């Protein structure tokens, strides 16, 4: 019930850690699955909401994916006298950090869950597309940029290096994390793709264009 409750509250996201190579095939959170397909964008003139899992699209290697997460996004939208749209978005993520090995009820510390909260002031860069940088302080190396494309029904999280990052200890920050996109990783994704066997399956089943 706690996980389900987190999935529905509306509020925020931070940089997700990545699984180690040891966790690529089997890890202690590998049996965590969301219950519902909510990855599509629901919106009116004054609000927007979406839910799902941020993933690197088409990346099959789990060691290169962010930690598994359940994310809810809500935005309050406003339109000024010129017709330009702005928004205040809140992103709320339950993030599951795992160690190698199988789920173990006797050791709950081998699958950790954390709650991440963030706010994104958004502005319109073209018709149907809002983007903005997280307003709170984040990690040492990268800032997060949320992009909501109502035209394609996609939500992205991308990253840029902080201005002072290169002045830190050499090689501390490394390469930019790849762009993540909000996807549906529920059991319905596996059913839609008629996938068999182990492994996580995600798609864009919650979006209108995927249901046409």
Q: Which residues partner with 10 through β-bridges?
A: none
pLDDT at 56: 95
| The pair of three-digit structure tokens given for residue 96, joined into one six-digit string | 């599951």
**8 A C-beta contact, residue 7 and residue 51:** yes
Total structural domains within the chain: 1
pLDDT at 6: 35
- pTM for the full predicted model: 0.82
Q: How many residues does the chain have?
A: 212
Q: pLDDT digit string (tens) for 145-177? A: 999 999 999 999 999 988 887 777 777 888 889
Which three-class secondary structure state does DSSP give residue 190? helix
**8 A C-beta contact, residue 176 and residue 165:** no
* 144 lies in some domain: no
* 176 lies in some domain: no
Residue 87 pLDDT more than 90?
yes
Strand residues in 22-153 grouped as ranges (E): 42-43, 47-55, 68-79, 85-98, 111-126, 129-133, 142-149
* 135 lies in some domain: no
Which H/E stretch holds residue 74?
A: strand 68-79
Q: Which domain holds residue 54?
A: 2-123+181-211
CA distance 73 to 50: 5
* 185 lies in some domain: yes
* 160 lies in some domain: no
**8 A C-beta contact, residue 56 and residue 179:** yes
Residue 78 pLDDT more than 90?
yes
CA distance 209 to 184: 14
Q: pLDDT digit string (tens) for 113-151? A: 899 999 999 999 999 999 999 988 777 889 999 999 999
Q: What is the rounded average pLDDT for all residues in the chain? A: 81
pLDDT at 112: 85
């Amino acid at each position: 019930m706690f996980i389900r409750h987190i999935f529905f509250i509306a509020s925020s996201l931070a940089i997700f850690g990545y699984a180690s190579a040891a966790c690529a095939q089997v890890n202690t959170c590998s049996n965590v699955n969301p219950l519902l397909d909510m990855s599509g964008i629901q919106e009116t003139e004054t609000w927007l909401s979406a839910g799902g899992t941020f993933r690197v699209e088409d990346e099959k290697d789990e060691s290169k994916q962010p930690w598994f997460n359940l994310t809810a996004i809500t935005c309050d939208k406003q339109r000024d006298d010129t017709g330009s749209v702005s928004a205040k978005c809140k992103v709320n993520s339950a993030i599951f950090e795992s160690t190698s090995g199988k789920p173990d009820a006797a050791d709950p510390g081998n699958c950790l869950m954390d709650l991440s909260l963030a706010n994104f002031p958004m502005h319109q860069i073209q018709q149907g597309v809002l983007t903005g940088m997280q307003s709170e302080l984040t990690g040492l190396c990268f800032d997060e940029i949320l992009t909501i494309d109502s035209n394609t029904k996609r939500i992205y999280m991308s990253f840029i290096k902080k201005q002072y990052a290169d002045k830190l200890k050499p090689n501390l920050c490394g390469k930019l994390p790849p762009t993540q996109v909000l996807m549906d990783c529920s059991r319905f994704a596996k059913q839609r793709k008629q996938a068999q066997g182990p492994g996580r399956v995600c798609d864009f089943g919650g979006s209108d264009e995927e249901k046409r």
